[in-house]
Structure formats: C-alpha cells, structure tokens
Amino acid sequence: MMNELKQIIIEEILANGPMPLENYMARALGDTAHGYYSKQDPFGKKGDFVTAPEVSQVFGELLGLWGLDFWMKSGPWAEFNLVELGPGRGTLMRDIAHSVKMHPAYLQSAHLHLLETSPVLQEKQNQTLSKVLGDTTPCHWHTNINDLLKACHGMPVIIYANEFFDALPIRQFVQENGMWKLKCVDVKDSELVPVTITDISLTDNLPAAQNFKHGDILETSPQAEAIMTQLANYVADNDGALLMIDYGYTQNQPGDTFQALADHQPVSPYKSPGNADLTAHVNFKRLADIAEDSSCRSSGPTSQRNFLISLGLEQRFESLSLNASSQQKIDLLAARNRLIGIDQMGILFNVLSITKADKALPSGFEEITRDIR
C-alpha cells in the first residue's frame, strides 16, 4: 500500500513537472501532516538513529560546561539566551542543565529558546525539561529562526546545534556534458526517481562546470547558508557563541551525500517519503566562511574526538567507572568508544564554534586552525 505523502508528491509532479530535490527533502521531513518529523519520535534505539546525547550523558555534560565556561569568561552576562536548534527529545538540554546545577546563577540568567517544528517532539522536550528546570528557567518554542532571534531581544546567546544542519534541505547539481544540471525527483512506473533538468534560474554561484568531470555532483544548502548568516549576524551584533556539531566535510568538494535511514539501516530516499530520515553531510568550510564574512570568528572545525577529549571526556568516564558494576563498566566503555572512536563518531563528526571576532578562543579549540584535515 502506497503511503499518503508519496501519493500526494506523485500527483504534484504529474501536474507540475519534476520536483527539485530541495523541495522533495523539505516535504518528506517537514510536511505538517505526513512529514518524518511531524508524526513520530525518530530518536534512540527504537527510532531510526541514535544521536550523541542519547549515547551518554557525558556528551551533554561536557557541552554544558563548555557553555558555562564561555559565560563566565564573558562577564558573566546578567541575562542571556540559551538556545538549542533541533533539540530532539530534549536530552542534550536536560544534560546541559544537570551539569551546570552547581552554578545556579547561570540558569537563572538564562532565557531558554528551542527551535522545533515537530509538535510530537515539542511535547517530548517539554516532558523532559520541565522535570529539570522547574519554574526557574521558562522554556520558549519557535518554529523558525526569524521568530527565535526576534525573541532573543538583542541579548547575548549561547546556541547549540547538534545534528541540526544535516537535516536542512539541499540542492544537487550534476555536471553533464560540460554544464550544471539540477537534480529533481520525477515519476516513472508509479515510483519516484531522481532525474536532472536544465534550470537556468538556479546557478547558486557554482564554480565553472568545465573544471569538473561528467557525473560530478555539487551540493549546496541555501537554507543552511541563510540560517548561518542570520546566526552569525546576531552573534556579531549582540555577543555570544554558536557551537555546531554534525557530520560533514571540511573542504569544498564534489560528491553525493544525500542519504536515508530507517530502522538504523540505509534505504532509498525515494521509496517511502515521510517514513525515513533524510540527511546530507554539512559543508563546514562554507558555513565557517559565511560566519567570517559576517565579522565573526570561526574556531575549528575540529573532530568530535579532539573536541571532547580536550574538554575532559576521558577523566569524566574514568570517574564514572570508579563505582560502576562490571556491566556498567562495559556500557561506559562502549559509550566512550561510540563518542570518540576513530571508526565511530569520533572522526566522522566535526565541531565548529562561531563567536565575536574579538573573543578569546573557546574551550576545546586551543591551538586548532581551520581545515585541520
């Protein structure tokens, strides 16, 4: 039986012609009735993927202390905005709040803002965070970046974006016979299939097609670039820091990174829209360049492994192991390896920080220059 969203998309394509990949990805993830994030909780062992905060509370604790350290070095501010983009179940913010409890002034000074389009996940986040925050730090939800930044009222920000940018829609351009063509989704034999079309209107300031070989794919994310521009402009004008963690690449390069996951397994992105998580790798170099064009300082990107180790991950796991049972020790070791293992999240994930140009290097980025790999 064909799912409803697939049927709707097929009918639209038959009526209007091929749908750009960017629009298809946005619909599959964000359709208000049938989109992937609108109707379910995709996180954790029962979901389609496991994020770092779900692996171990150590991840969120270290990120919380990172923000606290930045706040203390910055004044500290009497009032500021604590922001998370795409907060999942609220696990990361819960662990952040736990880790800073010994400095009550931090959360008392904070206005908490969450960017979340999914009603299902908003409810989950509310359940998770109300237990930790109580009435001291009221929580505000927003469904778009404009409203969120407006609600920050020109006060400094500490913004976390863990696996946020990878879910933003991408455009793909394919080099065919010396020119760029736009990747779209079309219908063939009642199935959705990728095709390319000549679209003169969308050049995205692409490099010359002649410098690439036939079949090369370039990805851009106008939405990611627009959001980074807004965030960097806000930080430059009002002070603060953005910490983004995601999987991606640190040099501009061709390649197809569009992928779908369901039940922790790769699947076709076109088979069942709304029932699989669609993502693409993040171009860290492009986003860092945008921030620097907005008069911000970009620190990193560095690997998640280097970042977490420099924040004290090893010592934290050691102290947790001291009173642990033998099974707990095995679990702790597995979680540690998942977060920093070279064959796990450790190298695949990168970390980038954006601050005002005149700020000192944030923790975790000492002696790290751009494009370390």
Q: Quick one: which of 113, 182, 168 has its CA closest to 142?
A: 113
The answer to whether the CB of 20 falls within 8 A of the CB of 204 is no
Residues composing the chain: 373
- Beta-strand ranges (E) seen in the chain are 19-20, 80-85, 110-115, 139-142, 157-162, 171-176, 179-188, 191-197, 217-220, 240-249, 259-262, 265-267, 277-279, 282-283, 296-303, 349-356
In this prediction, residue 41 carries a pLDDT of 59
How far is the C-alpha of 142 from the C-alpha of 115, rounded, in Å? 5
Residue 59 backbone phi and psi in degrees, to 5: -60, -55
pLDDT by residue (tens digit) across 75-105?
Answer: 899 999 999 999 999 999 999 999 999 999 9
Helix 119-133 to helix 91-99 angle (10° resolution) is 20
In this prediction, residue 135 carries a pLDDT of 73
How far is the C-alpha of 39 from the C-alpha of 31, rounded, in Å? 9
Q: Which residue has the higher pLDDT, 181 or 360?
A: 181
Q: 270-301 in b/e burial notation, b at 16+ Cβ within 10 A?
A: bebbbbbbbbbbbbbbbbbbbbeebebbbbbb
pLDDT band per the 50, 70, 90 thresholds, residue 350 = very high
Q: List own/partner pairs for 333-340 with CB under 8 A and 24 or more apart.
A: 335/55, 335/56, 335/58, 336/56, 336/58, 338/55, 338/56, 339/52, 339/55, 339/56, 339/58, 339/59, 339/304, 339/308, 339/313, 340/304, 340/305, 340/308, 340/309, 340/313
pLDDT band per the 50, 70, 90 thresholds, residue 372 = very low
User: What is the full DSSP assignment across 150-179?
Assistant: HHTTT--EEEEEES-GGGS--EEEEEETTE
In this prediction, residue 43 carries a pLDDT of 55
With vertex at residue 89, the alpha carbon angle to CA 338 and CA 332, rounded to the nearest 5 degrees, is 25
Determine what percent of the chain is predicted with pLDDT higher than 70: 94
pLDDT band per the 50, 70, 90 thresholds, residue 44 = very low
pLDDT by residue (tens digit) across 70-83?
Answer: 999 998 999 999 99
Please state the rounded mean pLDDT for residues 243-264: 91
Q: Quick one: which of 200, 204, 166, 170 has its CA closest to 185?
A: 170
Q: Which residue has the higher pLDDT, 204 or 84?
A: 84
369 CB-near residues (< 8 Å, 6+ apart): none
Please state the rounded mean pLDDT for residues 187-214: 87
**pLDDT, mean over the chain:** 91
Please state the rounded mean pLDDT for residues 191-212: 85
Q: 39-52 in b/e burial notation, b at 16+ Cβ within 10 A?
A: bebbbeeebbbebb
Residue 360 backbone phi and psi in degrees, to 5: -70, 160
The answer to whether the CB of 194 falls within 8 A of the CB of 184 is yes
- What is the reported pTM? 0.92
Which domains, and CATH codes, for the chain?
4-169+221-356 (3.40.50.12710)
pLDDT by residue (tens digit) across 147-200?
Answer: 999 999 999 999 999 999 999 999 999 999 999 999 999 999 999 999 999 876
Sign (positive or negative) of CA dihedral 80, 84, 89, 92 = negative
Cα–Cα distances in angstroms (integers) from residue 18 to residues 12, 79, 95, 223, 285, in the given order: 9, 49, 44, 20, 31
Please state the rounded mean pLDDT for residues 24-32: 92
Q: Is the pLDDT of residue 14 over 80?
A: yes
In this prediction, residue 265 carries a pLDDT of 86
In this prediction, residue 206 carries a pLDDT of 85
DSSP class of residue 209 equals G
pLDDT by residue (tens digit) across 310-335?
Answer: 999 999 999 999 999 999 999 999 99
The answer to whether the CB of 297 falls within 8 A of the CB of 359 is yes
Please state the rounded mean pLDDT for residues 269-273: 95
In this prediction, residue 25 carries a pLDDT of 96
Q: Is the pLDDT of residue 204 over 90?
A: no
In this prediction, residue 337 carries a pLDDT of 92
Determine what percent of the chain is predicted with pLDDT higher than 90: 77
pLDDT band per the 50, 70, 90 thresholds, residue 369 = very low
Please state the rounded mean pLDDT for residues 271-298: 95
In this prediction, residue 119 carries a pLDDT of 86
With vertex at residue 82, the alpha carbon angle to CA 106 and CA 365, rounded to the nearest 5 degrees, is 85
